[in-house]
């Protein structure tokens, strides 16, 4: 029966946890994110989800992460993963490498999202140079089909400073939600600075 016991334990682990506690992020106050020197000044109130998606990551939302998911990644060093491992044995996440090119980041993010969030498809629709945190960076947009069979759009803005990755990522259903809060995300991006 030991195996069966393990099975039940596994099933309990997989079962959705209780409602996650959130913390309100006040508007118009600088707040550091993702355990790093990166700070943003939101113009509207956001909710920070208390469970960190990764050790160098932080997740904000307005209506719940399924409807608008803002992820911050700060000081991700060589060998780090973007997200917490979901199944290290069978599906280990890709690791960041400090010699990655900015233009390699969409593929790295695709692989991370597919494994960590269970995306079924992922298409990068544009990749542009940009300024982020006062540095040359990359901005890319994508479309992804989640494991809930809902089409979402996303934007990521990233740069690599001294071999460490800084990134902000926004993902929301392409129907209504993506466009509704796109400007709020862009405002967060433009307010981002190193602390």
Number of residues that bind another protein (CB under 8 A): 57
What gap in Å lies between CA 113 and CA 122, rounded to an integer?
9
* DSSP three-state, residue 54: coil
Q: According to CB under 8 A, which one of 31, 75, 77, 111 is a site residue for another protein?
A: 111
Q: Is residue 51 involved in binding another protein (CB under 8 A)?
A: no
Residue holding tokens 């039940």? 8
Continuous segment of H or E residues that includes residue 106: helix 105-117
Binding mask 154-183 for another protein (x = CB under 8 A): ------------------------------
7 binds another protein (CB under 8 A): yes
Question: Judged by CB under 8 A, does residue 48 bind another protein?
Answer: no
Rule CB under 8 A: choose which of 9, 21, 27, 151 binds another protein: 151
Contacts of 191 (CB under 8 A, 6+ apart): 40, 41, 42, 43
Residue among 43, 129, 135, 193 that touches another protein (CB under 8 A): 129
* CB-CB contact of 177 with 150 (8 Å): no
Asked if 114 touches another protein (CB under 8 A), the answer is yes
Does residue 181 come out as left (phi exceeding 0), alpha (psi in the -120 to 50 range) or beta? alpha
- Binding of another protein by 63 (CB under 8 A): no
Task: List, as one string, the DSSP characters of 124-151.
Answer: EEEEEEEEETTEEEEEEEEEEE-TTS-E
DSSP for 7-18 reads HHHHHHHHS--S
Asked whether position 153 contacts another protein by CB under 8 A, the answer is no
- Chain centroid to CA 106: 13
Residue 128 or 179: the one with the smaller Cβ distance to another protein is 128
**Residue 3 found at the interface with another protein (CB under 8 A):** yes
65 binds another protein (CB under 8 A): yes
d(CA 189, CA 195): 14
| Residues at the interface with another protein (CB under 8 A) | 3-4, 7-8, 10-11, 14-16, 53, 65-66, 69, 86-87, 89-94, 97, 99-104, 106-107, 110-111, 114-122, 124-129, 136, 138, 140, 145-151
């Amino acid at each position: 029966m030991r195996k069966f016991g393990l099975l039940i334990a596994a099933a309990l682990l997989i079962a959705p946890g209780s409602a996650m506690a959130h913390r309100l992020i006040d508007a118009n106050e600088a707040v550091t994110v993702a355990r790093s020197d990166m700070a943003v000044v939101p113009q509207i109130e956001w909710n920070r989800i208390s469970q960190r998606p990764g050790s160098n990551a932080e997740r904000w939302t307005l209506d719940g992460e399924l409807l608008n998911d803002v992820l911050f990644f700060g000081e991700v060093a060589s060998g780090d993963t973007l997200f917490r491992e979901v199944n290290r044995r069978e599906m280990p996440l890709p690791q960041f490498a400090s010699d990655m090119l900015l233009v390699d980041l969409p593929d790295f993010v695709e692989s991370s999202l597919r494994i960590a969030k269970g995306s079924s498809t992922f298409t990068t629709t544009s990749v542009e140079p940009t300024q982020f945190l006062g540095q040359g960076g990359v901005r890319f947009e994508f479309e992804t089909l989640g494991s809930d069979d809902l089409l979402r759009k996303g934007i990521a803005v990233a740069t690599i400073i001294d071999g460490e990755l800084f990134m902000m990522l926004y993902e929301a259903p392409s129907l209504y939600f993506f466009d509704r809060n796109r400007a709020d995300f862009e405002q967060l991006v433009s307010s981002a600075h190193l602390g």
